[in-house]
Chains A and B, each alone.
Chain A
């Protein structure tokens, strides 16, 4: 678009300004055309549903007939619902086992793999491969391996003289088995993240500590681990958030059973919303989960900030 023919009376300065304003407006229009698909989809399918969910959680809604307002009844009912309480307990047990184990074992393996030994690439590959496999495939695979009757696991246990186990059909074992499968698939993630972080541990710092006579344990305790702190905090946050949202694996393997032993929060939400068609109740449960996730994320951010201040203060 060429500038509009202008009367000669307008000063050159003003002309320049007008051209600049026009250019900026054109730039703004281009930018908006670039971002509008992303904005439309991302905001439309997250902000709108988030608000909608909030409204739903105050309604009795079966996804078919018109809903009716019930105020805080859904939330109140959640506190009284033994199934929800069980789901929260199961989720917390799962998280409390999976998160520390995956991080501690991941760190240990990364520290070992970070030493210059042979076949590191092969080991790393084998640890990471399960991570790219879908939870559905993991679930069907382990349902087969751990099948009490036809599974290979019991055949192997027999070699060692261990009596056959029931795994998924045993209420005392099912949740632990889910933790073990999650470790099988999730450990590789912690390993590669720690391995990448270990590359960034400043070598001069290690040299200096070594010259000061620090042993291996001291190096690990006072140099390596402190520099890994931000990554560890991130992993705690990431793994916790993912663990609290576990669903696919549960759906494929146990469907929340036996006797509700593996009903986790998201399974509860899914069941309420899409099986029992009590969408409002499901939305209320989803909000409880979301608030918990938000509090954890915010809490860890505060801890991380304080930690950073402490470290900076120490070096000053």
Chain B
């Protein structure tokens, strides 16, 4: 808009007629968008490139901006000097359990709130919604004390228990279930199905979008979290990838190729998931906002 306006104004100034105005073969907006998109992409491209560079290439001044060949020294260094495979597994376990249990407990809770009448349901729902407003910093110290008294500190259990089910999962699924037509379920009750059967056979198969939103957002938050693992975990065999990467960088900060190799290992699962299910990711991210 502004660009075309300026060209028009300039055309008027120089007395050049409107007809002779140079027409770009593409929208002028690309002149703004393309460089900006490049700025957004370059750090990530640089991450991939530098992970396959040799340390000599990086430590040169000025550093090389393109690798001379694929050098796996960084990856080798990472595997020899850190427990990245172990951390990868830990992260996978924590995120995997969190995703499954949020789907299960979120569905059960959400369904009860959406379709069942029971004593105390309104109070509970309000209470649960209110907990969404409690910032993590307020609860982290006592949560640490709770986990300590349960003997879970320094184990994956300390990471798993607090992320088993979030109010967000319950609330999002409740809202989705409410939007489904009741008639489908009523027919099943008439046939004598239990609530659990109705939920799993009829409601959940219709709830794929909401379930995928819960799965994606749970995966993103648990996989990417650093604060809580930093507090709950001391021993390096129990690190998650984020905690491992943060520590690895602190200890080997001159081994940039290796740090970038470790970084790539940390972000690759998220990047691949994002590329593979881009539509669902963007929808989930948007809804995390609009329904918050």
A266 neighbours in B (Cβ, 8 Å): 137, 227
Other-chain residue from B1, B134, B164, B224 in contact with A135 (beta carbon distance below 8 A): B224
Residue in A123, A130, A137, A145 with the greatest tally of chain B CB atoms within 10 Å: A137
* Distance between B255 CB and nearest chain A CB, rounded to angstroms: 11
- A132-B281, A251-B230 known; A53+B289 contact, CB < 8 A: no
Cβ contact of B170, chosen from A38, A52, A117, A137, cutoff 8 A: A38
Q: Is the CB of B137 within 8 A of A47?
A: no
Total number of B residues with any Cβ neighbor in A under 8 Å: 94
| Given A31-B118, A43-B127, A155-B63, CB of A38 within 8 Å of CB of B106 | yes
Evaluate contact between B118 and A28: CB separation under 8 angstroms.
yes
Q: Which of A35, A115, A136 has a CB less than 8 Å from the CB of B224?
A: A136
Docked CA distance A46–B63 (Å): 49
Chain B residue contacts of A97, Cβ below 8 A: none
CB distance from B264 to the nearest CB of A (A): 9
**Docked complex: A10-31 residues within 8 A CB-CB of B:** 24, 27-28, 30-31
Q: Is the interface of A mostly helix, strand, loop or mixed?
A: helix
Shortest A87–chain B CB gap in Å is 12
Contact of B138 among A28, A32, A287 (CB under 8 A): A287
Give Cα A143 to B256, complex, Å: 10
Residues of chain A lying within 8 A (CB to CB) of residue B292: 234, 238
A-binding segment of B14-22, B178-186, B202-210, B267-275:
B267-275
Do A137 and B26 form a contact, CB below 8 Å, given A31-B121, A238-B289? no
Q: Nearest Cβ in chain B — how far from A129, in angstroms?
A: 7
Check B116–A30 contact: CB distance below 8 A.
Answer: yes
Q: Mark A271-307, 1 if CB is under 8 A from B, else 0.
A: 0011000010011001101100110010000000000
Known: A30-B116, A35-B108. A118 touches B27 (CB 8 A): yes
Given the known interface contacts A41-B165, A53-B141, A290-B138, the answer about A131 and B44 at a Cβ–Cβ threshold of 8 Å is no
A308 sits at the interface (CB 8 A): no
B33 touches A158 (CB 8 A): no
Residues of B within 8 A of A216 (CB): 1
Known contacts: A279-B141, A286-B137. The answer to whether A119 contacts B30 by CB under 8 A is yes
Minimum C-beta distance from B233 to chain A (A): 12
Bound CA–CA A136/B136 (angstroms)? 18
Mark B97-129 against chain A: 1 for CB-CB distance below 8 A, else 0. 000000001101101110011110100100110
How many A-B pairs have beta carbons closer than 8 Å: the answer is 282
On chain A, the residues within 8 Å of B65 by CB distance are 152, 155
- A contact residues around B266 at 8 Å (CB): 134, 136-137
Interface residues in B113-165 by Cβ distance below 8 A to A read 113, 116-119, 121, 124, 127-128, 131, 133-146, 161-162, 164-165
Q: Which of A34, A269, A270 contacts B109 (CB 8 A)?
A: A34
Contact of A234 among B127, B225, B245, B289 (CB under 8 A): B289
Query: Judging by beta carbons under 8 Å apart, are B290 and A193 in contact?
Result: yes
Kindly identify which residue among A112, A129, A235, A251 contacts B289, using a CB–CB cutoff of 8 Å.
A235
Chain B 176-214 against A: per-residue CB contact (8 Å), 1 yes, 0 no? 000000000000000000111000000000000000000
CB of B58 closer than 8 Å to a CB of A:
yes
User: In the bound complex, what is the Cα–Cα distance between A131 and B216 (angstroms)?
Assistant: 13
Which A residues lie within 8 Å of B143 (CB)? 45, 49
In the assembly, what is the distance between CA of A235 and CA of B1, in Å?
Answer: 25
| Binary flags per residue of A115-150, CB closer than 8 Å to B gives 1, else 0 | 101110011111111111111110111111101011
Q: What residue of chain A has the Cβ atom nearest to residue B260's Cβ?
A: A144
Nearest-neighbour CB distance to chain A for B203, whole angstroms, equals: 12
Please list 28 pairs of residues, one from A and one from B, whose beta carbons are closer than 8 Å in the complex, sorted by A's number: A32-B118, A41-B161, A42-B131, A42-B165, A46-B134, A46-B139, A49-B140, A52-B142, A123-B33, A126-B37, A126-B41, A129-B44, A129-B271, A133-B224, A137-B263, A139-B246, A143-B249, A143-B253, A147-B256, A150-B58, A189-B285, A248-B227, A251-B227, A270-B231, A273-B144, A274-B144, A286-B137, A289-B137
A-B contact sample (20 more), CB < 8 A, given A27-B117, A50-B142, A266-B137: A34-B111, A37-B105, A41-B105, A42-B128, A42-B165, A48-B146, A115-B29, A122-B37, A127-B37, A129-B41, A133-B224, A133-B267, A150-B58, A184-B43, A192-B285, A234-B289, A251-B230, A270-B230, A274-B231, A289-B135
